[in-house]
Amino acid sequence: MSGRFEPLPGGGAAVALDEVEISILRSLAVQLAELIGPGDQSAGAEDPLDALFAEGPTRPPSDPALARLFPDAYVAPGQELDADAEKEARAASAEFRRYTENDLRARKRDDALAMVRDLDSLTAGSTGSAAKEQAVLELAPQKSRQWLGALNDLRLAIGTRLEVTDDDDGGELLGLPDSDPRKPMVMAYFWLGGLQETLIETLMA
């Protein structure tokens, strides 16, 4: 799959996507929004004030992908602490999570849904090549940052499913045979990485 972000005059970014790429990105963004879900909300949270002061969970999510998206603030994976230090760090992480996870969950969900809406707004048109039709997506700076957040979350979630770690970029997964059921997820993981990298370069230009 092709596609790379390019800068727009005055800020923002643009990328040309074909119909298959649009469909894949939209499907992944919908799945991400569904994975993130609404989070833990207290009764009556439909009232804006109730939602503002609603307390979140104190424990990490049981789903490994969600745990990667919402990690403990003071306990790094694989970190070795003595019993007292670990107890203190987990207590601090629980307190931090209680007051931050709902907002973080809402922001991540909003980023994923913004991606879905932007893709739905596209109408594929001819690029002058008979081989492929593409549509050009133009993102304002704020939308670009939402896309960057969603792309990062997608890669973290997919990487967790593929058991990619911080010390392993997953490069060996590219050698999987086409018959391996993980192969489409692997290709999506690296394609999303390319989109994320070019979007970062565009925003830093």
pLDDT in tens, 65-99: 999 999 998 877 767 778 888 888 889 989 999 98
86 and 80 in contact (C-beta within 8 Å)? Answer: no
Helices (H) then strands (E): counts for the chain = 6, 4
Report which of residues 103 and 56 the model is more confident about. Answer: 103
Give the three-class secondary structure for 135: strand
CA 145 to chain centre: 12
- DSSP string for 154-189: HHHHHHHHTT--TT---GGGGGS-TTSTTHHHHHHH
Confidence at residue 48, expressed as pLDDT on a 0 to 100 scale: 57
Mean pLDDT on 48-74: 82
CA 188 to chain centre: 13
pLDDT category of residue 55 using cuts at 50, 70 and 90: confident
57 and 97 in contact (C-beta within 8 Å)? Answer: yes
41 and 172 in contact (C-beta within 8 Å)? Answer: no
Backbone angles phi, psi at 74, to 5 degrees: -120, 10
pLDDT category of residue 123 using cuts at 50, 70 and 90: low
Residue 59: is its pLDDT beyond 60? yes
Q: How far, in Å, CA of 102 to CA of 99, rounded?
A: 7
Confidence at residue 83, expressed as pLDDT on a 0 to 100 scale: 85
Query: Which residues, other chains included, contact 73 with Cβ-Cβ below 8 Å and sequence gap of 6+?
Result: 92, 93, 96, 97, 100
162 and 182 in contact (C-beta within 8 Å)? Answer: yes
pLDDT category of residue 56 using cuts at 50, 70 and 90: confident
Confidence at residue 136, expressed as pLDDT on a 0 to 100 scale: 92
